[in-house]
Structure 1
Amino acid sequence: MNAPVIRPATNADCGKVRALIFAVLDEYGLEPAPKTTDSDLDDLEGFYAGGMFDVIETPEGDIIGTVGLWPLDGEGSEGAVELRKMYLKPGARGKGMGKLLLTHAIARARALGFTRIELQTNNVLEEALGLYGKFGFAPSARNEVERRCDQALALDL
């Protein structure tokens, strides 16, 4: 059996990516925000220029996970990138896919020259929080978080 592969997403993937992410948000009782926080899902190639947006896909073409890196700008964010939209379908969890995606994202951030990864999350995403902790992410001093998030984490590369 062939293993899933990570590949760059294209705008042709927007519908499938949006459906996966919104389904996971719904599963955890978190509200999608298509006009604000999730508007990046309308133009994956353009929004993530300078960073990356990748999907993990089965040999049959089913997108089972997503992860993005979005370069941050503004005061105090020099060299920083935000880890965004790291989600897995329920059937892909507990099989090392999250670890694979996060390892991939960290390696890509380093290859792109970033020195820090920041992310925002919610405490209901317990599996993700455990994974981030195993990789060394720690609470960030970031004051502002998106409305569906309740904490910010960071990892110095």
Structure 2
Amino acid sequence: MSAPVIRPATNADTEKVRALIFTVLDEYGLEPAPKTTDKDLSDLESFYAGGLFDVLETPAGDIIGTVGLLPMGDGVAELRKMYLKQSARGRGHGKRLLTHAIKQAKELGFRRIELQTARVLEEALGLYAKYGFAPSPEAALERRCDQALALDLKTA
């Protein structure tokens, strides 16, 4: 069987992407916020212009993962919406998505990646730590997030 592929998302993927992300948020007791934190999901192509929003898709067309890089100015990208379907976890897909995002951030000329996350997303926190993300206490946090992390791409 062929491995899932990472490809750029289009607005045609919006409903599948939103369903995946909102399902994962629900699994962890986190509330979707379609008018604020998750408003980016209404127009992936425009919102992530200058960065990327990619999906991990099975050969059957099932979107099992997502990752975005949102340009924030001054050489900084925010890693956003990195989620995996429950059945896809524990298979190296998270590592694959994060490695892809870091590589793409470098190729796009970013010097730093920042992200916000929640303590309940333990698997993600472990992965970020393995890749060198460190606490970034100066960040203003979104409502459902309780941690901010950053990675200097010059040392990554």
TM-score interval, smaller chain: over 0.9
Matched, 1:87 2:89: no
Letter in 1 for 2:62: D
* SS of residue matched to 2:114: strand
SS of the aligned residue for 1:64 comes to: strand
1-structure distance, mates of 2:95, 2:28: 20
Structure 1 moving runs of 4+ over 4 Å: none
User: What residue in structure 2 maps to residue 123 of structure 1?
Assistant: 119
Report how many aligned residue pairs link the two structures. Answer: 153
Correspondences of 1:1-157 after superposition (within 5 Å): 1-73=1-73, 78-157=74-153
User: TM-score, normalization: structure 2?
Assistant: 0.97
Distance (whole Å) between structure 1 residues aligned to residue 99 and residue 120 of structure 2: 22
Identity %: 77
TM-score (structure 1 length as normaliser): 0.96
Cα RMSD of the aligned pairs, angstroms, is 0.6
Q: CA deviation at 1:142?
A: 2.5
Q: Which segments of 5 or more consecutive residues in structure 2 lack a partner in the other structure? A: none
Question: Displacement, 1:56?
Answer: 0.2
CA distance in 2, matches of 1:118, 1:142: 11
- State how far apart, in whole Å, the 1-side matches of 2:28 and 2:3 are: 27
Q: Deviations over 1:41-96 (max 9, x none)?
A: 000000000000000000000000000000013xxxx2110000000000000000
